[in-house]
Copies of this chain bind each other. A is one copy, B any other.
Amino acid sequence: MELNSRKQQILLAIITEYIDTAEPVGSRTIARKYKLGISPATIRNEMADLEEMGFIEQPHTSAGRIPSERGYRYYVDYLMHKYQLSPDEEDLIRQEYTSKARDIGLLLQRTGQLLSQLTHCASVVQSPKMEAGSYKHIQLVELGMGRAMLVLVMDNGTIQHRLIEIPSSITGGDLATISSVLNAKLSGHTIETIKFTLIKEIYLELTRHRHILDLVLEVLRYSLTPGAEDKIYLGGLFNMLSQPEFHNIEKVKTLLSLLEQESLLASLLAQISKPGVNVRIGGEISCRAIQDCSMVIATYEVGGQPIGSLGVLGPIRMDYAKVISVVDYMTRHLSNALERLFRGGGNQI
């Protein structure tokens, strides 16, 4: 679908204006604000064409035009100017990542808050995939009364723990023995490389404690299932409420109830189809329930490997140029911060 230059200019003007004001845009407004050198009447003619082609629509006869989803898509793909973050905004982000994080969870949570604050959208940040790391330390700690805690420390700084029940015949010493054997065998292995042979070895060495081993292996197996242990940090919902499209409480209610389901958030973040920043507009989101929103998502990486996703969710009428820049910029910074955290060093951006 080709658009001549003037139609492009007009479409760009309509979308820019509508993103800014949230009001349908009329031909006079464009003629006045955007010096295209043509009269409202001409613009009206072009608008009629654009409408016929499906790039814009009219809420009712005597109103201006608003972009259609297709219009936004064309805008994002071809028309949009790159947004340059203001020095203030850059500072805000940089500052966040220079202070040392004592905990990855906190880092991710703060990332979400910042994302939301800068974009006026809700932010969604996924914790690093367990599968991406390798076991660094495994510890069974006896808690008394037939309970023990299994702690898994991964080399990427994430941690997983689970309460398990143990027979009362098992002593703290037994658990220490099991821990050290498991450590010796598994340490440094990624989840994928724990093969059956390895497990067999462990079994042989610890025949007496098969029962516990089964429990431990069950936990390991669970930690293997992708997404099983991922936490998702959702934040800045209130930032989104300033947008006029959420003045309707019913909309807010359904959206909130959806966003409280972690599994849904995970499936949203999984809709990344290409490297870099991904934009999903309205119906492009494969989730019926939130098709009147758009999403801008990306993956962050450590050592060149994508290990998690993050993004924002907001009204279809969002400032794509800015949001895309912010998501891009923050993804890089987060990747870098994690890189430094896990590997030491890390490149400067």
Residues in A lying within 8 Å of B, measured CB to CB: 101-104, 113, 136-137, 139, 141-147, 149, 151, 153, 155, 157, 159, 161-163, 235-238, 241-242, 246-247, 249, 252-254, 256-257, 260, 341-345
- Alpha-carbon separation in the docked complex, A157 to B146 (Å): 12
Given A238-B256, A256-B238: A102 and B163 interface contact (C-beta under 8 Å): yes
Partner pick for A145 among B101, B144, B343, CB 8 A cutoff: B343
CB nearest neighbor in B for A159: B161
Write the nearest CB–CB distance from A139 to chain B, whole angstroms: 6
Q: Is B242 in contact with A253, judged by CB distance below 8 angstroms?
A: yes
Q: Is A163 in contact with B101, judged by CB distance below 8 angstroms?
A: yes
Q: Which residues of B contact A149 (CB under 8 A)?
A: 136-137, 153, 157, 159
- Alpha-carbon separation in the docked complex, A113 to B103 (Å): 26
Other A-B pairs beyond A143-B155, A237-B237, 8, CB < 8 Å: A103-B162, A136-B149, A137-B139, A144-B344, A147-B341, A147-B344, A236-B260, A252-B252
Partner pick for A241 among B101, B162, B238, B249, CB 8 A cutoff: B249
- Alpha-carbon separation in the docked complex, A341 to B146 (Å): 9
- Alpha-carbon separation in the docked complex, A261 to B67 (Å): 37
Q: Which residues of B contact A342 (CB under 8 A)?
A: 143, 145, 147
CB nearest neighbor in B for A258: B238
CB nearest neighbor in B for A139: B139
Given A163-B157, A238-B253, A344-B145: A151 and B139 interface contact (C-beta under 8 Å): yes
Write the nearest CB–CB distance from A262 to chain B, whole angstroms: 10
CB nearest neighbor in B for A262: B109
23 contacts between A and B (CB under 8 A): A102-B163, A104-B163, A139-B139, A139-B153, A143-B155, A143-B157, A144-B155, A144-B343, A144-B344, A145-B343, A145-B345, A147-B344, A149-B159, A151-B159, A159-B159, A159-B161, A237-B237, A237-B256, A238-B254, A241-B252, A247-B249, A249-B249, A249-B252
- Alpha-carbon separation in the docked complex, A136 to B247 (Å): 51
Write the nearest CB–CB distance from A291 to chain B, whole angstroms: 19
Q: Which residues of B contact A249 (CB under 8 A)?
A: 241, 246-247, 249, 252
Write the nearest CB–CB distance from A67 to chain B, whole angstroms: 24
Q: Is A141 in contact with B147, judged by CB distance below 8 angstroms?
A: no
Q: Which residues of B contact A256 (CB under 8 A)?
A: 237-238, 241
Q: Which residues of B contact A137 (CB under 8 A)?
A: 139, 141, 149, 151
- Alpha-carbon separation in the docked complex, A185 to B146 (Å): 23
Q: Is B145 in contact with A136, judged by CB distance below 8 angstroms?
A: no
- Alpha-carbon separation in the docked complex, A253 to B252 (Å): 11
- Alpha-carbon separation in the docked complex, A101 to B159 (Å): 18
Q: Which residues of B contact A136 (CB under 8 A)?
A: 141-143, 149
Write the nearest CB–CB distance from A241 to chain B, whole angstroms: 4
Write the nearest CB–CB distance from A82 to chain B, whole angstroms: 31
- Alpha-carbon separation in the docked complex, A345 to B157 (Å): 35
Q: Which residues of B contact A144 (CB under 8 A)?
A: 155, 343-344
Q: Which residues of B contact A238 (CB under 8 A)?
A: 253-254, 256-257, 260
- Alpha-carbon separation in the docked complex, A320 to B260 (Å): 26
Write the nearest CB–CB distance from A165 to chain B, whole angstroms: 8
- Alpha-carbon separation in the docked complex, A157 to B161 (Å): 10
